[in-house]
Amino acid sequence: MRITLAQVDVTLGGLDANLQHAEHAVADAVRDGSELIVFPELHLPGYSIGRIDEDLSLRATDPRLQRVARRAGEAGVVLGFVEDGPGVHTYNSAAYFQGGRLVHVHRKLYLPNYTVFEERKHFTPGPSLRAFPAAEDTRMAILVCNDAWQPQLAFLATQDGALVLLIPASSAQSQFPQRYDSKSYWRDITRFYARMFQLFVVFVNRVGAENDLHFWGGSHVVDPWGEIVAEAPEDVEQLVTVDIDLTDVRRRRRAIPLVKEARLGLINREVHRLLDEGGDL
């Protein structure tokens, strides 16, 4: 499978301009033979939506999203947007389209709400995590940025059959670089998941700046052995395309069968015990 990491810059609040930019990026990736194009988190509205007065939310079925997806032809495409959800809810969402058709929507599950991050103020946490059928008769799952800092989600996605873990992100440089360096943390996370869950990890971060936030890029793909097989530069808008062999996942899992030893019944019993003892619902 040929995958394009669409490491793009974003105009905050410039929904129309960002949609057009995405269309051009998709067209370039398809000309290069890409079968899947992955964009960063919230690349259509921009990240700091609390600074914008206009309503930037879209339904997942919005014709503007479908127009971008159709530019991909038969290829898959992941788009990050503010979702106008059911009832009163608004979500930080990533939609997967295949052949111009909406296949899956992931609503970010864990919303940061500290220092300069105010997602819990603007979004509702998503209700569920599912792997989904994708191109080349495979299954994938999406974790949006901070979701990937919850290891149980990658575990659940793997047990649900994911062979590829897609992580669209809007990761900014830390305010405390002496204790937390964004780039090294993300590399540790993605390589750990790839090795322990024996799958491909596709991390796509944006570039550019919004007020005090500096998005650093560094998008990359990790194979099931934990090796980085493609990487975009930092701070530069760029499309990076890589070919991966999905049979590597099955080959790796046959050689060292870690993921089939999950013992879901044991985990279920212990989770219910923790809930009975007053755990977080």
Catalytic annotation present for 183: no
Rg of the Cα trace of the chain? Answer: 18
CB-based contacts of 90, cutoff 8 Å, min separation 6? 57, 82, 83, 84, 122, 123, 124
Catalytic annotation present for 41: yes
Considering the candidates 41, 83, 210, 231, report the single residue annotated as catalytic: 41
Distance CA 78, CA 57 (A): 17
Interstrand relation of 164-169 and 213-216 (parallel, antiparallel or unpaired): unpaired
Considering the candidates 35, 83, 145, 231, report the single residue annotated as catalytic: 145
Q: Count the Cβ atoms, other than its own, within 10 Å of residue 196.
A: 15
Considering the candidates 83, 108, 119, 210, report the single residue annotated as catalytic: 108
Catalytic annotation present for 74: no
Distance CA 92, CA 41 (A): 8
Q: Record the tokens describing residue 195, joined without a space.
A: 């090795």
In order, the DSSP letters of 108-135 are -S----STT--HHHH-PPP-----EEEG
Catalytic residues: 41, 108, 145
